[in-house]
Amino acid sequence: MSDFRRSVGYQIYPKSFCDSKGDGRGDLKGVTSKLDYIKELGVDYIWLTPFFVSPQNDNGYDVEDYYNIDPRYGTMEDFEELAAEAGKRGIRLMLDMVFNHTSSRHEWFKKAMEGDEKYKNYYIFRKGKAPGVPPTNWESKFGGGVWEYVEKFDEYYLHLFDVTQPDLNWDNEEVRKELQKVIRFWMGKGVKGFRFDVVNLISKSVYEDDYEGDGRRFYTDGPNIHRYLRELNAATFGTDTEIITVGEMSSTSMENCYQYGNGDGKELSMVFSFHHLKVDFMGNEKWVLVPADFQKLKNILFSWQKGMQEHDAWNAVFWCNHDQPRVVSRFGNEGRYWKASAKMLAATIHLLRGMPYIYQGEELGMTNAGFTDISQYRDVESLNHFRILQDKGLTEADAYRILQVHSRDNSRTPMQWTAGKNGGFTNGEPWIEVNKNCDRINAEAELADPDSISIFTGN
Ligand code: GLC
């Protein structure tokens, strides 16, 4: 059994980590070049967000080919080198498996759109309720509806996320077998960890209009979810006791997480839940400005700690990832108490029961992007909501204020390595702007600071 219950994870968003080629985007070789730094942080596992072939409409969470590396990130040799070099340093890699949906450019979806019944059944096609009326009124996580009309079939396909991310039909056993093959392929490459993207959304059941919410109650923690996870486990990673897994559980319930992350190891090793990161939302609505409710934050952390412990289930504990704003800006202080609050927040997650995950730059106290113009934003979700907010009647200035607080691009600005050009991230033109405060907040400065936020193992 892996001793993951004593391990620390470090999340890398390769596109924004380190660019070895000078094309403005980070890549796998860039990650390899920084392994000594990561080792110094005392990291056991690196979670790499997707680097598979993808049109990058959702920065790799739209996978076109699960078996190959997107040339933008490098080659299979680069991956093997990274895995070998990490292994030499006692660090293991966790890959990000996006199995709720594929890219619309995946060959399965292309065949489906050609009318091939076998592949249409890999996805979720449904008739509308009436001419021009989609099967349900659910809202996409990225704004707009979840159904895309396909005229030649007079049917709609489901996409909980972007229109270019059609949902897979997990009720089809062939789909489940295909996805098992993907895991076995990467296990063959020596991979010892997997993160499963929005995996509690894979079991859909009822297709009904939702008059109380955005539809999520009909597809979250669905009826066959535990059966599908157990099956995946038994057929793939469950056969290797060294492999660890974490599921991203969107809007989940604690009761379900007792099973997902149970110590019996039949489903996953641990879970990411997000309730503690909605304390500055209005219910589930994130595109609003609401002060963080710290009492609620404390209560949520406490009840999850207690509940999961009582049921021998394991949390992944975290503040930051590539979908969340920077925590020091969010729950801490960017000004006078910048360092103290970054330390306090770091101490909190390291002292909770669960596996801590640090997101690149969090160890430096990196802050929100500070963007002031829509041309600086890249994320499909932010771009959509900038428009939706104004369609709802908000002024442009208000829409900006909300984006500045909640946009996922806040965490996607490049890693700040030095005070030099582009924060030492690239010699080229960065795909997204580097935060201006890289002159002050950067890894070089942090390593030289005897009172640094992080404790480096060499110190
Ligand atoms: C997860 C990912 C996010 C992505 C979404 C759709 O929430 O973390 O980045 O956009 O799933 O795959």
Give the tens place of pLDDT for each residue, 367-419.
999 999 999 999 999 999 999 999 999 999 999 999 999 999 999 999 999 99
pLDDT for 205 equals 87
| DSSP secondary structure letters along 388-418 | HHHHTT--HHHHHHHHHHH-GGGGTSPP---
Please give the average per-residue pLDDT across 339-368, as a whole number: 97
| DSSP secondary structure letters along 148-215 | EEEGGGTEEEE-SS-TTSPBB-TTSHHHHHHHHHHHHHHHHTT--EEEETTGGGS--------SSSSS
Cβ–ligand 1 contact at 381 (below 6 Å) = no
Among 44, 58, 248, 280, the active-site one is 248
Cβ–ligand 1 contact at 161 (below 6 Å) = yes
Q: 252: left (phi > 0), else alpha (psi -120 to 50), else beta?
A: beta
Q: What is the pLDDT of residues 247-298, one digit of tens each?
A: 999 999 999 999 999 999 999 999 999 999 999 999 989 999 999 999 999 9
Among 162, 197, 280, 334, the active-site one is 197
**Ligand 1 mean position, distance from CA 89 (Å):** 29
Cβ–ligand 1 contact at 359 (below 6 Å) = no
Sign of CA dihedral 244, 250, 256, 257: positive
Q: What is the pLDDT of residues 61-75, one digit of tens each?
A: 999 999 999 999 999
**Ligand 1 mean position, distance from CA 98 (Å):** 8
- Verify whether residue 197 is a known catalytic residue: yes
What CA–CA distance (Å, rounded) separates 42 from 346? 14
Atom of ligand 1 nearest to the CA of 381: 10
**Ligand 1 mean position, distance from CA 27 (Å):** 19
**Ligand 1 mean position, distance from CA 159 (Å):** 13
Q: What is the pLDDT of residues 216-226, one digit of tens each?
A: 999 999 999 99
Cβ–ligand 1 contact at 384 (below 6 Å) = no
Q: Could you list the beta-strand ranges (E) of 212-370.
A: 244-248, 270-272, 316-317, 355-359
What CA–CA distance (Å, rounded) separates 363 from 351? 15
- Helix (H/G/I), strand (E/B), else coil: 12: strand
β-pairing, 52-53 vs 65-69, is: antiparallel
Interacting residues of 191 by C-beta distance below 8 A, sequence separation 6+: 83, 93, 94, 95, 243
What CA–CA distance (Å, rounded) separates 12 from 28? 10
Q: Which domains does the chain possess?
A: 4-102+173-456 (3.20.20.80), 103-167 (3.90.400.10)
pLDDT for 455 equals 83
Q: Whose CA is nearest to atom 7 of ligand 1?
A: 198
Cβ atoms of 430 and 405 closer than 8 Å = no
Cβ–ligand 1 contact at 61 (below 6 Å) = yes
Question: What token pair was written down for 335?
Answer: 């000004």
- Verify whether residue 449 is a known catalytic residue: no
What CA–CA distance (Å, rounded) separates 245 from 193? 6
Atom of ligand 1 nearest to the CA of 98: 12
Closest CA relative to residue 229, chosen from 97, 124, 125? 97
Nearest 10 degrees: Cα torsion 24, 25, 29, 32 = 110
**Ligand 1 mean position, distance from CA 440 (Å):** 31
pTM passes above 0.85: yes
The label of the residue with tokens 């949906």 reads: 101
Q: Whose CA is nearest to atom 2 of ligand 1?
A: 197
Atom of ligand 1 nearest to the CA of 160: 6
Judged against a pLDDT cut of 60, whether residue 1 lies above it is answered with: no
Cβ–ligand 1 contact at 58 (below 6 Å) = yes
Cβ atoms of 99 and 179 closer than 8 Å = yes
What CA–CA distance (Å, rounded) separates 145 from 142? 9
Question: Mutation test of ligand 1: which of 94, 95, 161 has the most ligand atoms closer than 8 Å to its C-beta?
Answer: 161
Question: What token pair was written down for 459?
Answer: 């110190």
**Ligand 1 mean position, distance from CA 448 (Å):** 35
**Ligand 1 mean position, distance from CA 408 (Å):** 10
Atom of ligand 1 nearest to the CA of 58: 10
Q: Which helix (H) or strand (E) holds 95?
A: strand 92-97
